[in-house]
Amino acid sequence: MPELKNCRRCNKVFPYLAGLPICPACNKEDEKIFEEASMYIRDHPGVPLTVVSNELDISYDRLMKYVKEGRLQILSPKGEYIRFCENCGVAITGNRFCPSCEGHISGVLDTSKKKLQNSLEKAKKRSDYRFI
């Protein structure tokens, strides 16, 4: 059974099931704004988000939320799709992480791997002893 929650935007009480605590009316309004932005970007490929924000009177932060959710895609000046690092949020054109975070994560994994290998070697040496 759904619980009752207050909408994060308008503060109305509504039956909440899952996802963001936003009432159906605010969700519908959000979808309308998204569609408007999406159509504008489709009609004006390569347009900067600041222009979209100014032309449609939509907050830049809201547009960035759509980009980070993967609902809107933006192109770099080179024509590559821009994503955001899953760790630090910096704009990237590659996989899931920026080079800095990728290096850090790789280092942490290498250190963990070495520690685990050392622990396994120590455990193996201890298991060589037999009780008589």
Q: Report pLDDT for 28.
A: 93
Q: What is the reported pLDDT for 58?
A: 92
* Tokens read off for 14: 């509504």
Positions of E strands within 7-132: 13-16, 74-75, 81-84, 91-92
Q: Domain residues of the chain, as ranges?
A: 23-75
Q: What is the pLDDT of residue 129?
A: 63
What CA–CA distance (Å, rounded) separates 42 from 51? 14
| Among 45-49, 108-112, 123-127, the least confident range | 123-127
pTM over 0.85: no
C-alpha–C-alpha distance, residues 43 and 49, integer Å: 13
pLDDT in tens, 18-49: 878 889 899 899 999 999 999 998 888 778 88
